[in-house]
């Protein structure tokens, strides 16, 4: 089974829970200018570890202060869950879901429960839906989505229902839109999108409408759903094509598109215009961002040569570099806590052979002036040099004969292969085999790490201009 699409799926549900509230006033009063001047050694440091290294999982902040971490790839799909406690920087085992899955969405409902929708399982794309109840620490299987899907968005509506839109799967997956009612456990179709979308970002605006944007490296499309009519409208396109980005609702009522490009841009629903705001210091390709309670937005990493942590201040429209991750990571769920800290949980790193490596480590962006150095053992590292989380370094030793140091862990690397073309399933390909292989594997690392399976072939036919026979049209 392929590790499909590394688009914004991991992050969309998280930010729909955190960043889509139409509250107009930020809750904190700390001065962004003072925050930006903090030393990077004191703002980002290790914060324990998940029990399982995972990616394409979701992380949702619960009302009890813990973070529910669900599913993902290990690299195989898992039904396991964890409850990470930011107060102690420890994680405990949660109840398993009925179905193993990755690339699903997670939406925090108004009653504090969490809705997990579809995704990819060991046998293919799923339609199954499950609901987590924090009060009883249990999962309940609820009505399935009327189609199989991954790469969709899931947005909590003002009335407590959930809008699930687009994605991959089913006869009309890219244009499908359904609403789930948790009170009746039913799904209802709502208007089809004028243009198919997948792996897009979504945000609920202050007036209750839902804005979708982007979803591909060449896509700057934006579409707007009106709840009173259940209809979709194509609105002004973004100034930049974006993928792996996040939409945030600002106190001004505008929607801010963050990530993929260095330039940040804001959509004004009153004028139907996108306006460029400010540039990030570096380009964050697959770095989900999170809005803190005071309205500032934090984004970190996103590529395997970038550890930069940056913060956006809406009042100035400017970005400031505020720290550095202790290791590179991408596609990491990002959670803003009520006290202003921001968590980066798991995700992927890259091995010396270019393979994707699941991460269990957790890091935190924190503006407090204290920092407790970590150890090699605490980070699960046993070779090379790493940060101690407080501005210093740690030497974790060397590997034995026949082993290589990959992401500071001793092991063996998988050889690259170009044994077949992108339209034929088989052994894992190398990114260097072709432009198409690079495109597919950037989205879906499974194809270049484990196996070029039928989903990789489908992704090639979707993401690349294929003229040779053998690829299955989507």
Q: What ranges do the domains of the chain cover?
A: 12-21+34-370, 421-474
pLDDT in tens, 331-368: 899 999 999 999 999 999 987 777 888 999 999 999 87
The confidence score (pLDDT) of residue 393 equals 65
What distance in Å separates the CA atoms of residue 420 and residue 372, rounded to the nearest whole number? 50
What distance in Å separates the CA atoms of residue 65 and residue 370, rounded to the nearest whole number? 22
Residue 118 CA neighbour count, 13 Å, CB half = 27
The confidence score (pLDDT) of residue 385 equals 80
The confidence score (pLDDT) of residue 28 equals 31
- pTM for this model (two decimals): 0.73
Mark 284-296 as b/e (b = at least 16 C-beta within 10 Å): bbbbbbbbbbbbb
What distance in Å separates the CA atoms of residue 259 and residue 6, rounded to the nearest whole number? 14
Digit-by-digit pLDDT tens for the chain (474 residues) are: 433 333 333 333 333 333 333 333 223 333 333 333 333 345 899 999 999 999 999 999 999 999 999 999 998 999 999 999 999 999 999 999 999 999 999 999 999 999 999 999 999 999 999 999 999 999 999 999 999 999 999 999 999 999 999 999 988 889 999 999 999 999 999 999 999 999 999 999 999 999 999 997 789 999 999 999 999 999 999 999 998 899 999 999 999 999 999 999 999 999 999 999 999 999 998 899 999 999 999 999 998 889 999 999 999 999 999 999 999 999 899 999 999 999 999 999 987 777 888 999 999 999 874 556 677 887 778 888 876 655 556 788 888 876 777 767 787 544 456 878 888 888 888 887 887 888 888 777 778 877 787 778 777 876 776 655 456 433
What distance in Å separates the CA atoms of residue 82 and residue 52, rounded to the nearest whole number? 9
The confidence score (pLDDT) of residue 297 equals 97
The confidence score (pLDDT) of residue 16 equals 33
What distance in Å separates the CA atoms of residue 72 and residue 196, rounded to the nearest whole number? 25
Superfamily of domain covering 12-21+34-370: Kelch-type beta propeller (2.120.10.80)
The confidence score (pLDDT) of residue 390 equals 56
Backbone angles phi and psi of 435, in degrees to 5: -60, -40
């Amino acid at each position: 089974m392929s590790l499909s699409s590394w688009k914004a799926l991991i992050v969309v549900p998280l930010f729909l829970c955190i960043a889509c509230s139409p509250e107009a006033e930020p809750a904190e009063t700390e001065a962004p200018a003072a925050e930006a001047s903090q030393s990077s050694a004191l703002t980002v440091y290790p914060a324990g570890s998940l029990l399982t290294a995972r990616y394409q999982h979701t992380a949702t902040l619960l009302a009890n202060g813990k973070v529910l971490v669900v599913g993902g790839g290990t690299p195989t799909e898992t039904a396991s869950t964890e409850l990470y406690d930011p107060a102690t920087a420890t994680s405990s085992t949660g109840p398993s879901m009925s179905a193993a899955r990755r690339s699903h969405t997670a939406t925090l409902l108004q009653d504090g429960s969490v809705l997990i929708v579809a995704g990819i399982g060991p046998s293919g794309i799923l339609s199954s839906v499950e609901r987590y109840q924090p009060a009883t620490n249990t999962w309940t299987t609820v009505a399935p989505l009327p189609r199989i899907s991954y790469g969709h968005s899931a947005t909590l509506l003002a009335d407590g229902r959930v809008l699930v839109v687009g994605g991959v799967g089913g006869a009309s997956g890219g244009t499908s839109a359904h609403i789930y009612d948790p009170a009746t456990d039913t799904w209802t179709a709502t208007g089809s999108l004028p243009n198919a979308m997948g792996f897009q970002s979504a945000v609920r605006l202050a007036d209750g409408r839902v804005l979708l944007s982007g979803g591909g490296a060449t896509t700057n499309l934006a579409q707007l759903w009106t709840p009173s009519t259940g209809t979709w409208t194509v609105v002004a396109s973004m100034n930049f094509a974006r993928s792996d980005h996040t939409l945030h609702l600002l106190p001004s009522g505008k929607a801010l598109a963050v990530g993929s490009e260095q330039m940040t841009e804001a959509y004004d629903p009153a004028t139907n215009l996108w306006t460029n705001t400010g540039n990030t210091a570096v380009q964050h390709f697959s770095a989900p961002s999170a809005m803190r309670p005071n309205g500032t937005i934090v984004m970190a990493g996103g590529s395997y040569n970038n550890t930069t942590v940056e913060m956006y201040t809406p009042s100035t429209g400017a970005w400031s570099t505020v720290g550095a991750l202790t290791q590179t990571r991408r596609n990491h769920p990002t959670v803003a806590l009520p006290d202003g800290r921001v968590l980066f949980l798991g995700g992927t790193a890259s091995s010396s052979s270019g393979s994707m490596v699941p991460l269990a480590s957790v890091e935190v962006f924190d503006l407090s002036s204290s920092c407790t150095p970590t150890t090699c053992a605490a980070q699960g590292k046993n070779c090379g040099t790493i940060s101690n989380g407080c501005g210093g370094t740690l030497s974790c030793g060397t590997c034995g004969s026949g082993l290589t140091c990959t992401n500071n862990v001793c092991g063996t690397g998988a050889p690259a292969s170009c044994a077949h073309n992108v339209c034929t399933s088989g052994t894992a390909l190398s990114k260097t085999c072709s432009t198409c292989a690079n495109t597919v594997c950037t989205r879906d690392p499974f194809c270049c790490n484990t196996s070029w399976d039928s989903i990789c072939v489908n992704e090639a036919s979707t993401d690349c201009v294929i003229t040779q026979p053998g690829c299955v049209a989507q």
